[in-house]
Amino acid sequence: MPAVAQQDEITPFQEHHPTTVEQGRFCLARCTCGWRGPARRARSRARADAAEHLEHAEGRSEGRVDAEPS
Ligand SMILES: [Zn+2]
């Protein structure tokens, strides 16, 4: 019996990998989940947006909020 390497690839439904992208003179945060932050003039601001989004996203998946304010 050949040793079959079992692939333990855990792919979550929604991954959050925020990055910052430059758009012209502005910089904005973007995430693999489709989220986009507002355009900022400073990259540090866009990074802060990304960090905030990540915090929210992770906190939400843990806390499971049913009622979402629209
Ligand atoms: Zn995200």
Q: How far is the CA of 61 from the centre of ligand 1 (A)?
A: 11
Confirm if 53 and 18 have CB atoms less than 8 A apart. yes
| 54 CB-side CA count, 13 A | 16
- Find how far residue 25's CA is from the centre of its chain: 23
- Give me the tens of pLDDT residue by residue for the chain, a chain 70 residues long: 667 666 666 555 578 999 999 999 999 999 999 999 999 999 999 999 999 999 998 886 555 555 555 6
Rounded CA-CA distance 53/16 in Å is 9
How much is the pTM?
Answer: 0.64
Q: How far is the CA of 18 from the centre of ligand 1 (A)?
A: 6
